[in-house]
Structure 1
Amino acid sequence: MKRKYPHLCQPIKIGNVYFRNRMFGAPMGGTDITADCTIGPASTAFYEYRAKGGAANVTVSELVVHPETEGSHMYHLDLHTPGSLASFTYTADAIRRHGAIASVELSHSGQYAGTYLTDKNKKEGLCQWGPSAGIRPDGREVRELTQELINEIVAAYGEKAALAKKAGFEMVMVHGGHGWLINQFLSPYFNKRTDRYGGTLENRVRFAQEVLDSIRKAVGPGFPIEFRMSGSELFDGGYDLNEGIEIAKLLESRINLLHVSAGTYQRGFGVTHPSMFLPHGSNVYLAEAIKKQVQVPVATIGGLNDPQMMEDIIASGKADIVEMARALLADPELPKKITMNRDEYIVRCLRCYTCMAERAQTATRRCTVNPIIGRELNGMEILPAAHKKKVLVVGGGPGGLQAALTAAKRGHEVILCEKNDEVGGILIGEQAIPFKYEMYQLGVTLGKLCEEAGVDIRLNTEVNKEYADNIGADVMILAVGSEPLMPPIKGLDSDRVVLINDYHHRKEKVTNDVVVLGGGLAGCEAAIHFAREGKKVRLVEMNTDLSPDANVRHRPLLLAEIEKSGIEVFPNHKALEVTSDGVICADQNDQQILIPGSSVVCALGQRSRRAVVDELWDSAPLVSQIGDCVKVSTITTAVYQGHHAALDV
């Protein structure tokens, strides 16, 4: 068989272990961490899902090596806690039985201990330890590690690595980046010591070297050790790429794989985990530069999900391995699809941060485009239904498409009707905004998957009661979505006003001097897009805060983009009238002002299409309603509800 992406699919030997391809599952923290910090069964299934999808390895994250100085609620591994070793053993088994190599990330957060506690107030009672004493920006005291504690922590890395090997893990990753403890020793910003661990680069690297020596002694020769580092800390006071190269040189003899990431904790989340506002592969240059200076294999990471880009990275010698985290949540079968030349069916990560926001808020996982993530124990396979039925899905947005796909996979006869000339629903409009194009691609890909699964897709077909009655479906799933909210603002219906939903059809109507009405997520992202095009943008919002509908990970980056883009923001301004000169608004003092602009984009929200639901409610014995037609929400909600509505058939 001729592989479309031969370099990505080529096996590689690291240490004494063979890996089936060059696509690795980067570390992501589990969710059901028990009170004793063992791996719960849901997390075991979470890791297994990616192994089953064809990744060469799957890394469990994070194993805290020294709980005495690191109180985060993450995984612990010891012999005295009932279930501790067993939980790691079952997890390694679950990964390995699908042909992937099980790895575990050995970690210590140093002065950021407690980061992943669900109850943030508990951090107040934790002692924060680091290479040097000081006060964190949030006011918490940091104590300097003594030589005795350093010795204990170094030994603990070896002890945990040995236990991981005993549990069946065939590789370990040492977390030496992102502002965690090893990185704190490497960094001139954090490390102010004057002893053998501070000052010169050789001294600052010493702690990492001792950790790696401890692990090597514990696991023996040939056992793969992966070291994760930030190629550059990417902030003033931290080390830069040139120093990152020197760090790599001083460590490479002790490791089997160098994993080059970027940035540091609290100083670049959206860079370390590249947001939709950055190009894919924006951190690859760090790995490329370091690879030229070392002999050990190098892995790269950071917003990678495009097969051709990843193939080119390997083929051109920028890195030996590509690592993915979010991309393998969106589609755990991405590696398998690439291997089988089925890359056009990959469901791509939107870089929306739903997965990370959910963990921060509820200590669970969820993915916008994959309803199984975090719920793998409920079943990673879609099983055939006992009785085949005729299912009518009304609406071809993301929820309707997911419902049709799941129902078809279960063996039902599925008809999907969409009133437009293409599927995708509200996502169709995202094709006009480059950093949101993957949302448009989601509709396209789900449509392809539905066609392959045998769904009868009927475009340009608006379903009324007569049409639905004639089909005579056993089950109808209503996914008719929402429509733009159009308040009674004088002039809002004029030709100079472009609805955000229609922007992809009317791009030429948006001039270089535009007023965006609505500071929700859609309005804010549109404003950023217009500013990137070089337009003068004024953003009007009737409330105080912008984009309260954005998740906790995406919103800070969104607001930062607005600030740096030079967008003029008018909070607490209510639009009264659209004129030829702009928009007349009432400010918070009820004074009328003109916000000038030669064009207006309306992004004032959506409202559920309830009239359609009411008309069709009695057109099948069993009727389900999902997504925006129930309550205006998110892609995540629509996809999740669509999947489960189909499972209920």
Structure 2
Amino acid sequence: MQRKYPNLCKPIKIGNVTFRNRMFGAPMGGTDITADCTIGPKSKAFYELRAKGGAATVTVSECVVHPETEGSHMYHLDLQTVDSLASFTYTADAIRRHGAIPSVELSHSGQYAGTYLTDKDKKGGMAQWGPSAGTRPDGKPVKELTQELIDDIVAAYGRVAGLAKRAGFEMIMVHGGHGWLLNQFLSPFFNHRTDKYGGPLENRARLALEVLDSVRAAVGPGFPIEFRMSGSEFFEGGYTLEDGVEIAKMVESKVDLLHITAGTYQTGFGLTHPSMFEPHGRNVYLAAEIKKHVSVPVATLGGLNDPAMMEEIIASGQADIVEMARALLADPFLPRKVMSNQDADIIKCLRCFTCMAERAVTSTRRCTVNPLIGREMDGTEIIPTANPVKVLVAGGGPAGLEAALTAAKRGHQVILCEKGDALGGILKGEQAIPFKYEMYELGVTLEKLARDAGVEIRLNTPVSKDYVDQQNVDALIVAVGSEPIVPAIPGLDGDNVIIVNDYYKKKDQVGESVVVLGGGLAGCEAAIHFAREGKPVHLVEMRAELAPDANLRHRPLMMNEIEKCGITVHTELKGLKVTDQGVVCEDLAGKEVLVPGTTVICALGQKPLRNLAESLVDCAPYVIEIGDCVKASTITTAIYQGYHAALDI
């Protein structure tokens, strides 16, 4: 067949191993790390799903090589812990049996040990070791590694690499980026040593070179070693891209693949893992520059999810390989869809950070758009039913679309009714905000997949009790959604007011300056959009803080954007009335304050359409309410409830 993306689909040989395409699964931390730091069965299934989806390699992350100086609750691999070697063996086998190459990331967090512990108090009692003594930004003291400990850590990298090979892994990734230990030695910001590991770059690179030699001695010639390094640290005092080029040249003779990431744990989370506020591929230029100076293959990554962009990266010679992590959570089958020219069916990552926030809060994984993530063993995969029935879905937002698609995949006869003239629900409003456009695309893709699966879609069709009675259905899924909260504030119905949900239909009506009334997640993101357009923006919130509904990974990045864009923030102000000059508010002292703006964007939240939902509860043998009509919530909730409602029929 003629492939639409021939460069992306082309095999590549690295060392003595041939990889089936150029789409690699970047490291992702698992979902159930046991008390003994072995790979639990859920994590094995978590990694296996990526292998089934067609990625060329799947990398298990992170395996801590030296628990004596880095006792984080991440994977450990040794012969002393019962099931340690076995858990890695079963995982490597689960990945390899689907044609993907199993890889494992060897790591040491150095002075940031304990970062991913859910119990943040526990890390206070851990030893924090780094290249130099000092104090972390959070006040934790750091001890300087002795020569004896350095030698022990170097040997540990080799020992664990040998065990990984024994377990069936066919590639080793050495983590030398993101502010972890090897990066700390490379960085002039962290490394103030005066011995052979400090000073000029050739000394600061010494530990990384010793580690790579140790790994090579353990795995032998031809066994692929991938070195993950930050092309630039992106902060004052750290190393630059020019330094990154020199580091790459120093290590290339010892590795088979250079994996060029970016930034450091200390300052660059939203750049290392590009947020929705950053352009896709914003770090590719680092790999492209380094590739000019080395002879080994180079991989790039960072918010990549568009096959056309990834094809161009390889075709133009910017990199040899693209790696994805979040994109393969959103759609593990992205590589197979690319290989079979079905790229229009890809569910794209929203870069919303639900996956990373969930890991930090509950030590599990979840993906907004993929209800299987972290729950691969729960018996919730889609299985065709032996008893197909007639199903009516009321509402064409994300919950209704996911429910209809899932029910159709199971073999049911599905009708989806939408009262409006287009599907997507609240997602339709995101098409006007460039950094949220993929949320709009989610609705478009779900509609395509639903139609392809045989769902009968009826637009401009409100659902009532009489309508359901006429259809004589066996199951009714109520997904009628929510409506904007528009309180009885004088003037809020004026011509200079736009409900945030309707902005996409009224873009041309926005004036020269904007007041966003409501500082929740939707209001904050709308304010950023208008500020990026060059408009003066005032953001008004009645509570003491902005966006408590944003997740803990997304919120700090959004707050930075608000500051960077120069948005004027007003908290603890209550809107009293809207005039042609802006919004008159009341502060805590009872004083009236005018917040000026020619256009007012109302972003005061959503309320569930309970009356409509409750009118339908007795209309079929099986009735379930899902999504915003139950409680105004998130896309994550809508997708999960829609999926499981269909499974329960």
Shorter-chain TM-score tier: over 0.9
Structure 1 partner of 2:594: 594
Structure 2 partner of 1:400: 400
Structure 2 partner of 1:580: 580
CA distance in 2, matches of 1:386, 1:576: 58
CA distance in 1, matches of 2:163, 2:512: 62
Structure 2 partner of 1:187: 187
1:147-296 to 2 correspondences below 5 Å: 147-296=147-296
Aligned partners of 1:110 and 1:130 also within 8 Å: yes
Amino acid at match of 1:58: V
Question: 1:381 Cα shift?
Answer: 3.7
CA distance in 1, matches of 2:443, 2:208: 46
Structure 1 partner of 2:31: 31
CA distance in 2, matches of 1:527, 1:542: 16
Question: 1:460 Cα shift?
Answer: 1.3
Question: 1:380 Cα shift?
Answer: 6.9
What SS class does the counterpart of residue 378 from structure 1 fall into? coil
Structure 2 partner of 1:441: 441
What SS class does the counterpart of residue 468 from structure 2 fall into? helix
1:81-122: per-residue Cα shift (whole Å, max 9, x none)?
Answer: 110000000100110010000000000000000011111100
CA distance in 1, matches of 2:297, 2:379: 36
CA distance in 1, matches of 2:196, 2:203: 6
Structure 2 partner of 1:15: 15
1:140 aligns with 2:122: no
Structure 2 partner of 1:341: 341
Question: 1:61 Cα shift?
Answer: 0.2
Structure 2 partner of 1:528: 528
CA distance in 1, matches of 2:378, 2:413: 24
CA distance in 1, matches of 2:525, 2:438: 14
CA distance in 1, matches of 2:26, 2:381: 23
1:368 aligns with 2:368: yes
Question: 1:470 Cα shift?
Answer: 0.6
Structure 1 partner of 2:538: 538
Amino acid at match of 2:630: V
1:556 aligns with 2:556: yes
What SS class does the counterpart of residue 516 from structure 2 fall into? strand
Amino acid at match of 2:427: L
CA distance in 2, matches of 1:480, 1:325: 33
Question: 1:423 Cα shift?
Answer: 1.0
Segments of 5+ residues of structure 1 without an aligned counterpart are none
Which moved further from structure 2: 607-616 or 326-335?
Answer: 607-616
What SS class does the counterpart of residue 396 from structure 2 fall into? coil
Structure 1 partner of 2:607: 607
Amino acid at match of 1:365: R
CA distance in 2, matches of 1:368, 1:164: 32
1:310 aligns with 2:310: yes
CA distance in 1, matches of 2:80, 2:386: 47
Cα distance change of structure 1 residues 303 and 603 upon mapping to structure 2, 3 Å threshold: same
What SS class does the counterpart of residue 106 from structure 2 fall into? strand
CA distance in 2, matches of 1:459, 1:372: 29
Question: 1:301 Cα shift?
Answer: 0.5
1:482 aligns with 2:488: no
Amino acid at match of 2:15: G
Structure 1 partner of 2:515: 515
Aligned partners of 2:24 and 2:321 also within 8 Å: yes
Amino acid at match of 1:594: L
4+ runs deviating over 6 angstroms:
none
CA distance in 2, matches of 1:443, 1:631: 20
CA distance in 1, matches of 2:380, 2:197: 48
What SS class does the counterpart of residue 468 from structure 1 fall into? helix
Question: 1:379 Cα shift?
Answer: 3.9
Amino acid at match of 1:145: L
1:524-561: per-residue Cα shift (whole Å, max 9, x none)?
Answer: 00000000000010111011100000000000000010
What SS class does the counterpart of residue 377 from structure 2 fall into? helix
1:308-339: per-residue Cα shift (whole Å, max 9, x none)?
Answer: 00000000000000000000000000000000
Aligned partners of 1:49 and 1:380 also within 8 Å: no
CA distance in 1, matches of 2:48, 2:404: 26
CA distance in 2, matches of 1:399, 1:528: 27
Aligned partners of 1:229 and 1:259 also within 8 Å: yes
Question: 1:420 Cα shift?
Answer: 1.6
Amino acid at match of 1:534: G
Aligned partners of 1:44 and 1:94 also within 8 Å: yes
Which moved further from structure 2: 151-160 or 373-382?
Answer: 373-382
Aligned partners of 1:481 and 1:628 also within 8 Å: yes
Question: 1:266 Cα shift?
Answer: 2.4
CA distance in 1, matches of 2:521, 2:470: 40
Amino acid at match of 1:533: E
Aligned partners of 1:114 and 1:123 also within 8 Å: yes
Structure 1 partner of 2:497: 497
1:455-476: per-residue Cα shift (whole Å, max 9, x none)?
Answer: 1111111111111111111010
CA distance in 1, matches of 2:245, 2:39: 35
CA distance in 1, matches of 2:602, 2:514: 11
CA distance in 2, matches of 1:140, 1:381: 45
Amino acid at match of 1:42: K
What SS class does the counterpart of residue 376 from structure 1 fall into? coil
Question: 1:573 Cα shift?
Answer: 0.4
Structure 2 partner of 1:623: 623
Question: 1:146 Cα shift?
Answer: 0.4
1:497-529: per-residue Cα shift (whole Å, max 9, x none)?
Answer: 100010000111111111110000000000000
1:464 aligns with 2:464: yes
Amino acid at match of 1:278: E
Amino acid at match of 1:460: N
CA distance in 2, matches of 1:562, 1:634: 22
Aligned partners of 2:380 and 2:647 also within 8 Å: no
Structure 1 partner of 2:107: 107
Aligned partners of 1:407 and 1:647 also within 8 Å: yes
1:351-366 to 2 correspondences below 5 Å: 351-366=351-366
Aligned partners of 1:512 and 1:536 also within 8 Å: yes
Structure 1 partner of 2:126: 126
Structure 2 partner of 1:48: 48
CA distance in 2, matches of 1:215, 1:58: 19
CA distance in 2, matches of 1:354, 1:200: 41
Amino acid at match of 1:408: A
Question: 1:496 Cα shift?
Answer: 1.2
Question: 1:618 Cα shift?
Answer: 1.2
% identical equivalent positions: 73
Question: 1:386 Cα shift?
Answer: 2.2
Structure 1 partner of 2:70: 70
CA distance in 2, matches of 1:530, 1:198: 47
CA distance in 2, matches of 1:138, 1:598: 43
CA distance in 1, matches of 2:261, 2:581: 49
CA distance in 2, matches of 1:15, 1:313: 22
Aligned partners of 2:110 and 2:184 also within 8 Å: yes
Amino acid at match of 2:475: V
What SS class does the counterpart of residue 374 from structure 1 fall into? coil
Aligned partners of 1:130 and 1:143 also within 8 Å: yes
Structure 2 partner of 1:323: 323
Amino acid at match of 1:246: E
Structure 2 partner of 1:98: 98
CA distance in 2, matches of 1:463, 1:100: 47
Amino acid at match of 1:68: E
Q: CA RMSD for the aligned pairs?
A: 0.7
CA distance in 1, matches of 2:346, 2:425: 19
Segments of 5+ residues of structure 2 without an aligned counterpart are none
Aligned partners of 1:539 and 1:570 also within 8 Å: yes
1:250-294: per-residue Cα shift (whole Å, max 9, x none)?
Answer: 000000000000000021100000000000000000000000000
What SS class does the counterpart of residue 377 from structure 1 fall into? coil
